[in-house]
Chains A and B, each alone.
Chain A
């Protein structure tokens, strides 16, 4: 048993941290979301719901929000489609190559996000590697413009960046599938495919959910990839928040959008955590 003093001593630092860096900033943000900007570009403390109303009245915000959700959904789907087979192969069939392959998946995480973003810019641009290659093969005669500065480019870049985040929890959950259950399934006459569908997949659901949540939430809040490779058609909701807090100088509206995003993400996290618990079997 730990003493009261010890318990207090270990509880206080994280409590202070959460209060100073999380609760207070969010409280400030919360206040800002009910204020407004005067014609003289001064923030005035007249409490109102105008910012929230504008969020739903101005089609721009909803369009971009929906696009962000679509992009996040696409990235999540692609990251799962790439990450799951990879994790499955590593966990069940890689044998001696397991450690090497695992490192190869992890290494990109050590490279700076910006480097990876710029790499795609170099690949997809009109003077880029991809266009050069296509013209060299005489498949195209002019640079293809839509590779870069499009939602496609954003999805591609973010899929590349966030697939390891999806891979890791799936891999962890697959590693936890007791191998004798797989043997028991074969023993009872289930083919390898049937065993995958009826034993391995259900038991790795918590990992899939965790991985999907990572990809979705991280993509939804991303603003660098759209900035680097998105162009005007690839703008996402966070880019709007950035500009509202920056050049547009409309902190109240930015705060309102941020809080709506936060609500969305927290609801999502809450829901997936409940689901994960349901699928996790001790």
Chain B
């Protein structure tokens, strides 16, 4: 893990931001749904806006697309004010959650829609539409009516319809949420490959943290209208800034500890910590815990902390099992360990002290 700043709203490359969201605010019926959102997106970046339903992630996307008006702040794109441009003049295209395929037009005409609207030379249209449909593997459906397509196929048409316009930024509003699990995973891979191929900036909205981690260059975690943390997936997973981020992205154990003289203590568990004395909350990922009896997979260089607990529950999960460990005083710790076969009773566990990460527990 490098020592880069753990949470910053600037794109990692340091290149000039393509899209710059500055202190954006939005209200609905006097209720603040977005507040103080500042975020820079680099050209060619895959940025995911992650949040629970109601966190304002779709609203943020709609502000960028131009379907909603800002109540405060500014949005800039390539040095120009975007938020004062009407939606139909923005070089931004959207893939809608419900696809929004025009039902009265064929697949071909759906994809050609944007080109015709922008008065692209007539001779150029068939070539570009054909290319776009080939890109999403929908060439054979060009003349089909949208009503005859499955959800996944409509999804592809929606993607082609947006990409054919060569937008500077592509907005995707939970585009995979309506697909079943297998198709969803397949589309995730395709989407990522597609994004690399076309080199267009993707801003992807989802509530699915696994999806966010699998796809993104950076994740912007939104919580109740505010940015909780903006970082690369590994960074946000390994060093969540807050207890919320730690819990939302992946599973974790939150240890509410007392630090004194370089030792953190949470119930019966203690480990060395460099944090200043006082109360502190730590995040310890379940997979960072292992059975002391198991041979260490990698020789850990740091200090190892051990604790004992009674296994209350073991959930078989194929390669990895999930254990619920009672460490006394009904203090439950979850551990994800390579399937050891059935175990129970009291066991000794260990973790590297550096894996217990201090998080901000603002509530």
Taking A183-B96, A184-B94, A281-B147 as contacts, is the C-beta distance between A189 and B118 under 8 angstroms?
yes
Task: List residues of A (179-210) whose CB comes within 8 Å of B's CBs.
Answer: 180-181, 183-192, 194-195, 198-199, 202-203
The distance in angstroms between the C-alpha atoms of A184 and B98, with both chains bound, is 11
Say whether A178 faces chain B, with CB atoms less than 8 Å apart: yes
**Chain B residues with Cβ under 8 A from A187's Cβ?**
65-67, 87-88, 92-94, 162
Taking A188-B165, A189-B88 as contacts, is the C-beta distance between A281 and B104 under 8 angstroms?
yes
Once the chains bind, are B100 and A186 in contact (CB under 8 Å)?
no
Q: Which residue of B lies closest to A192 (CB)?
A: B88
Once the chains bind, are B102 and A189 in contact (CB under 8 Å)?
no
Q: In the complex, how many angstroms separate the beta carbon of B160 from the nearest chain A beta carbon?
A: 12
The distance in angstroms between the C-alpha atoms of A203 and B104, with both chains bound, is 7
Q: Which residue of A lies closest to B145 (CB)?
A: A281
**Chain B residues with Cβ under 8 A from A281's Cβ?**
103-104, 147
Say whether B161 faces chain A, with CB atoms less than 8 Å apart: yes
**Chain A residues with Cβ under 8 A from B118's Cβ?**
189
Once the chains bind, are A188 and B147 in contact (CB under 8 Å)?
no
Q: In the complex, how many angstroms separate the beta carbon of B301 from the nearest chain A beta carbon?
A: 52
The distance in angstroms between the C-alpha atoms of A279 and B92, with both chains bound, is 31
Interface residues on B, range: 20 to 34
Task: List residues of B (54-72) whose CB comes within 8 Å of A's CBs.
Answer: 65-67
Say whether B117 faces chain A, with CB atoms less than 8 Å apart: yes
**Chain A residues with Cβ under 8 A from B102's Cβ?**
181, 184-185, 199
Once the chains bind, are A178 and B100 in contact (CB under 8 Å)?
yes
The distance in angstroms between the C-alpha atoms of A188 and B103, with both chains bound, is 16
Say whether B113 faces chain A, with CB atoms less than 8 Å apart: yes
**Chain A residues with Cβ under 8 A from B65's Cβ?**
183, 187
Interface bits B161-172 vs A (CB < 8 Å: 1, else 0): 110010000000
Once the chains bind, are A282 and B113 in contact (CB under 8 Å)?
no
Pull 6 A–B residue pairs with CB atoms less than 8 Å apart, ordered by A: A180-B98, A185-B117, A187-B94, A187-B162, A189-B88, A202-B104
Given A181-B102, A181-B103, A188-B117, 18 other A-B residues pairs in contact with their CB atoms under 8 A: A183-B65, A184-B100, A185-B88, A185-B102, A186-B86, A186-B88, A187-B67, A187-B87, A187-B88, A188-B88, A188-B93, A188-B165, A189-B89, A189-B165, A190-B117, A203-B103, A281-B103, A281-B104
A residues sitting closer than 8 Å to B (CB atoms) are 178, 180-181, 183-192, 194-195, 198-199, 202-203, 279, 281-282
